Amino acid sequence: MWTPVIFGFFIFRFASLVFDFDDDDDDDDDEEHIDLGTTGSNALFAVADRLQALYRGKVYVGLRIPDSDTASRQNIDLVLVTKREAVVVSVINASGIVSIDGDGTCVCIDRSKNKTERLQDPMVEAKKQVAVLESYFEQRGVALPDGYLSCKIICPNPNFRTIHPDYFPPEVVSNEQWAELKHEKKSLSGWIKGALRCGNKETQKSIQQNLSYILSTAPMWDRLELNNNEHILGEFLEFKGKKDDIVNIKRSKVSRMIVQETSKLDIGDSKIRVLCAPRDYRNEGALCSEWNEVTFGSSTEVLFQLQDTAKIQKIKLSLILSISLSP
């Protein structure tokens, strides 16, 4: 009598592994599985990697700097810090034919999508970001010499084309210029004012160290690194899955999580090992000896709200290499 029941149970367990049956079919409509090829964060990280290689500095990605004037946070794509300068970099990953109107508005025509988009003068936003960041540095005890902090706008998309490129401000780096960019000893901004030239190497080194510490401890977007070389910026919300598969992790206690290989246990069960770095507000990062190991069920997902959308996305933990949580 019990033979068909037991046999049926093992068949169900096998099918649930193969077809990934989910007990949470009644999830809210605002949660969906992410299309891992549609995020714009990859362009930021690609530009950051190249800038670090070209100028041998440190690039900070996805900052959310407090703006005292508006009581909100100013999103900043990248900040490059070298011995000579700090540069706020806005990455516009637009494609199509781009021109500039007399009022500074950018008009982008993407014929492949039969779409025309108007963008506000990007220089206005870039200069605002510089002002907010400079004020933030001053609040944290660092006053910069004139000309040390500047801005650039980089358009890395290979399908980006300009009409009358001479009309674009010198701070805008087109795709053609970006592709041909080589290391310049003088700096990314291309010029340094007298106040900076008068500073000695020790002063410049001190400024660089101070800025690096401030930016490494500044608010920024949470980030996911996926196992297909995708990077995603946004806000980590929580882990989701079966009750017995979830470990309660408080972001105030953890700064980074690294996902290890899935380990096979009994029939029908597997676990995901995750290394957690305790948050240390005094020092950047944590020693390897301080990492703690926790275990999740293989069906565990991460609820993550992307930077550019109000949608809450669900991403399988097994697809993630690391999770970095902002202070």
Confirm if 65 and 72 have CB atoms less than 8 A apart.
no
Query: 185-235: per-residue pLDDT in tens?
Result: 556 665 333 334 445 677 788 899 999 999 999 999 999 999 888 999 999
Q: What is the pLDDT of residue 305?
A: 94
Q: Are residues 263 and 181 in the same domain?
A: no
Q: Are residues 173 and 253 in the same domain?
A: no
Q: What's the CATH code of the domain at 145?
A: 3.40.1350
Q: Are residues 78 and 184 in the same domain?
A: yes
CA distance 267 to 188: 57
Q: Are residues 50 and 139 in the same domain?
A: yes
pLDDT at 13 over 80: no
2 assigned to some structural domain: no
Per DSSP, the chain holds a count of helices (H) and strands (E) of: 6, 18
Q: What is the pLDDT of residue 11?
A: 40
DSSP 243-290: GGG-----TTTEEEEEEEEEEE-STT-EEEEEEEEEP-SSSSS--GGG
C-alpha 258: how far from chain center? 16
Query: 144-171: per-residue pLDDT in tens?
Result: 988 899 999 998 988 888 777 777 888 9
**Residue range of the domain that includes 151:** 41-198
Q: Of 129, 163, 198, which one is at a domain's C-terminal end?
A: 198
Q: Are residues 259 and 125 in the same domain?
A: no
Number of domains comprising the chain: 2
Query: 36-62: per-residue pLDDT in tens?
Result: 444 568 899 999 999 999 988 999 999
pLDDT at 268 over 60: no
Closest CA to 65 of 123, 122, 136: 136
